Chains A and B, each alone.
Chain A
């Protein structure tokens, strides 16, 4: 319940935060704190320096950016869930945000903090992968944009470099596509046992393209390439068969609540449900 002691800094700019991050090997960034603080309270994380991003102005927003919607890294799940702009331009992310944790968690937790933590059962990664989102990271050497597909690299790990922090997430507008996020909640933690995000484009009664992001199954969220390919040019009747390949080639994780085999099975079931819902959403 009680974190170990640490030094604390609350920089007022991203540049200061980056400088602080480089000043210590045992520094951690504090965004909403809903991944990090629970770990610190159980003393599973004991950073020497905590850099609180909460005092940096201008990191919380949802705004139009050309064909994309840009979100500040410190935007809370609640703001994402309730955003009218996302509802009209790219509703999938809001839909995923609404299924994160509970009201209190959504009021504090941030998208930047969540994806940097890269919990294998988190909800956003599935949506960001399906959307082909981009993550904007800034470090001492400047800013770079990381495609979501290249961002999640393993269990609690990303391709962020040390000294980098996330400033923005960009998701494309999904006008013309149907989207859905179907989630099997862990009854205790509320995390995804399996979560499937789908972006489906239809043309003359057949699936033109499908992008499917899956969380909860493997050590990090992934794009279900085999299922996506199997869905192209298929009518509704072929969806179940195609979605049975949702976890093809995936090294699944298992625990006392859900074995690897069961998670792979659920991936197929929830993939089908997500794709069907996405198609219905479009119709």
Chain B
């Protein structure tokens, strides 16, 4: 059996008839052709497949596409706005927060969620290193040893706070 579904990905609606067992990550990669979202494990642990579903970070390997029917999804390809990189993307680049790059899209999405929802970030403060490290507990990187990833998120947090303040002023 197949089911007709529609998912809005990075602002663009994608309709397809899918088997209910189709994983969201495969919908993104195979139906929408957005291969920036990667697959790194089978057990919902590595976080390489992290995307935003209705604004919250989820592991798209552990969501059925049919569960996301009617929902909106943001992938790494949709993070940059109006031609400018997201501050988290800039942070990863400037702080050398990536090497092989495979975990990076998921790591960036998880970091974006962290900076959107962490209590410190919500209060206009920079999350502490421990909060950042724990906030990225659902993502595994084998290359960087995490130190520069933490620096990247810290740098992005500062940048986002500066921008918020600038907008407020």
Q: Which residues of A contact B (CB under 8 A)?
A: 1-8, 10, 30, 33-34, 37-38, 40-42, 50, 52, 54, 78, 101-105, 107-108, 188-190
Contact = CB atoms under 8 A, between A and B. Distances in A.
Top 7 nearest A-B pairs by Cβ distance? A102-B138, A8-B20, A107-B56, A102-B137, A104-B138, A3-B21, A104-B59
Interface residues of B, number: 31
Interface string B4-46: 0000000000000001110100000000000000010011110
Nearest to A107: B56
A1 B44 contact: no
A123 to B, nearest CB: 14
Given A50-B20, A103-B113, A10 B66 contact: yes
B3 interface: yes
20 contacts: A1-B23, A1-B39, A3-B23, A5-B19, A5-B21, A8-B3, A8-B20, A30-B64, A30-B67, A34-B44, A37-B44, A41-B23, A102-B138, A103-B110, A103-B135, A103-B137, A104-B47, A104-B138, A105-B59, A108-B62
B137 A8 contact: no
B45 A7 contact: no
Contact of A103 (B19, B39, B57, B63): B57
Q: Which of A6, A8, A30 has the most CB of B within 10 A?
A: A8
B61 interface: yes
Q: Which of B3, B42, B138, B139 has the most CB of A within 10 A?
A: B138
Given A5-B19, A7-B1, A42-B43, A103 B114 contact: yes
A37 B62 contact: yes
Given A1-B61, A33-B64, A42-B43, A6 B21 contact: yes
Given A103-B114, A189-B45, A8 B66 contact: yes
Q: Which of A6, A40, A103 has the most CB of B within 10 A?
A: A103
A119 to B, nearest CB: 13
A233 B167 CA distance: 58
Given A38-B62, A78-B56, A105-B44, A33 B138 contact: no
B50 interface: yes
